[in-house]
Chains A and B, each alone.
Chain A
Amino acid sequence: MPSLSVVIITYNEECKIKKCIEAVTWADEIIVVDSFSTDRTREIAREYTDLVYQNAWEGFAKQRTYGMNQASGDWILFLDADEYVTDALQNKLKELLEDYSPFHAFKLHRVEHFLGFPLHYGTLNPSYQPRLLCKGKGYWTGGAHAHIEVADELMGLIHEDLFHDSHNTITDFITRINYYTTVDAQDRIQQGQRVGKMRLIFSPIGMAWKSFIVKHGYRDGFPGLLFSIGMGIYSFLRLVKVWQLNNEASSKNHHID
């Protein structure tokens, strides 16, 4: 039977790493690639595996490639520390290892968790993330949104759930919104976006509407509503940042009265 290696990349994940590893102890080997955590991440990981490496962070793709190069398995499952393999997914993966697969890589169905509640609908869903690769049949590439490079027809889908425990608190969610809107706003400026009052009012409402109604966020109940409004706030903050960048550029020579 082909073997499975799990590659987990970490940075200061002492709170989450245990749960992540414990969900994959059935695999043939576990490799942890840490980018110099300053907390107990490595210490905790060593309780489960000897294969704990340190490698300076150079992006998702490079970090996972580093881990892949340490792996001896035929298949490699790539995880982030805030991702947990469910029992259903475990069974599916075992099944897959037993059979011959025509695919070289797989995207896994990831269920986002928001404030501890699963979100099955809304803007983020359905979410399929490349996480499983037959060693030597493809490679990682890309920046913030890294992906596995294989031919489309060789990329399979697995519908069993991979849990993603990303936004534990609202404070954490807002910190991320703040970070990503700044990055996004700079992109929009490059595209020449202009912002006026109408857009400031209606774009965020449209964004929340899309997540809550069009993408059925209401089915996730109250957390779905919070998340959808959060998407509206995201849209608003991005527009305000674009507006401010435009404004600064055009009023450099004017005085404030």
Chain B
Amino acid sequence: MSLSIIIITKNEEAQIKDCLESVRFADEIILVDSGSTDKTLSIARAYATRIIETDWKGYSGTKMIALEAATGDWILWLDADERVQPSLQEEIQEVTKTEGVTGYYIARKAIFLGRWIKHCGWYPGYVIRLFKKEGARFSENMVHESVYIDGPTAHLKSPLIHYTDTSLDHYFIKFNKYTTLAARELFQSNYSFHLTDLIGRPIYSFVKMYIIKRGFLDGVQGLILCILSACYVFTKYAKLWHYREQNKTKE
């Protein structure tokens, strides 16, 4: 059974080499790039079987291009900031020889500001990343896309390593982008926003991550992460509020 890696990129020159280096064992690597202006493509050429350049078609649309281009029986979907460790590699090579399971959940070990975040509800954070190509498709959700498969699933033991942003500036650029997307999604779904969402939800998010999910055991990084998450929730609902205000004025 052959294995294809699918990966979508835009301006990932800092991450892409280590990422691709960690999956050299695969039969093919399909990389779909949407307009990188840095060295991503020139680095990727040394590793990728096929590089497809396309306009941005949303997360799921762009991933579908990669999925359709893949020729392997199995697909491992990877992001540029993720790495496959040798133990995970062995496990993947083992299970793709067997039949009976259509998709595998893989845990993600997130490194945030230099520390493995073990709590905060982040670990293990299982996601389906390894699956049979046949019948698989990506969902339409704007921010956290996921894969749909038909058939039995199982869990792998080894985690993926996920390097979250090392630069806070870059993190906040993404923070800004994602909160806009999420707010727009809520706006379009006609979510009945209430002003208490704006205060209650961020506090709830903080209490849940820092206390209930024991983020306080993750050091200063845990505290920063939990407050940032509360800020994220706050910003998302503040943007939703502002969309609604702007819409009112238009009408």
Contacts and interface: CB of A to CB of B under 8 A. Distances in A.
A170, A175, A196, A201 — which one has the most chain B CB atoms within 10 A of its CB?
Answer: A170
Interface stretch (A86-94, A126-134, A151-159, A238-246): A238-246
Residue among A116, A169, A174 with the highest chain B CB neighbour number at 10 A: A174
Interface string A244-257: 10010001000011
A125 interface: no
B172 A174 contact: yes
Contact of A115 (B113, B114, B234, B242): B242
B114 A200 contact: no
Interface in A81-101: none
A226 interface: yes
B1 interface: no
Contacts of B220: 196-197, 200, 243
Contacts of B242: 115, 169-170
Contacts of A182: 169
A97 B170 CA distance: 50
Contacts of B231: 233, 236
Interface string B225-241: 00110010011001101
Given A170-B239, A200-B227, A256 B111 contact: yes
Contacts of B155: none
Contacts of B116: 256-257
B59 interface: no
Interface string B170-199: 001101100110000000000000010000
Interface residues of B, number: 29
A12 interface: no
A150 interface: no
A65 interface: no
A229 interface: yes
A231 interface: no
A171 interface: yes
Interface in A178-237: 178, 182, 196-197, 200-201, 204, 222, 226, 229, 233, 236-237
A224 B80 CA distance: 40
B175 A200 contact: no
A196 B246 CA distance: 40
B55 interface: no
Contacts of A233: 231, 234-235
A201 B176 CA distance: 22
Contacts of A204: 227
Contact of B239 (A171, A222, A236): A171
10 contacts: A115-B242, A116-B246, A171-B180, A171-B239, A174-B235, A175-B176, A182-B169, A196-B220, A200-B227, A233-B235
Interface of B: 111, 113-116, 168-169, 172-173, 175-176, 179-180, 195, 220, 223-224, 227-228, 231, 234-235, 238-239, 241-242, 245-246, 249
Shortest beta-carbon contacts, A-B, top 7:
A178-B172, A174-B176, A170-B239, A233-B231, A240-B224, A256-B114, A197-B223
Given A170-B239, A247-B114, 20 more contacts: A115-B242, A115-B245, A116-B245, A116-B246, A170-B242, A171-B180, A175-B176, A178-B173, A178-B176, A182-B169, A200-B220, A201-B223, A222-B195, A226-B238, A226-B241, A229-B234, A240-B168, A240-B228, A244-B168, A247-B113
Interface of A: 115-116, 169-171, 174-175, 177-178, 182, 196-197, 200-201, 204, 222, 226, 229, 233, 236-237, 240-241, 243-244, 247, 251, 256-257
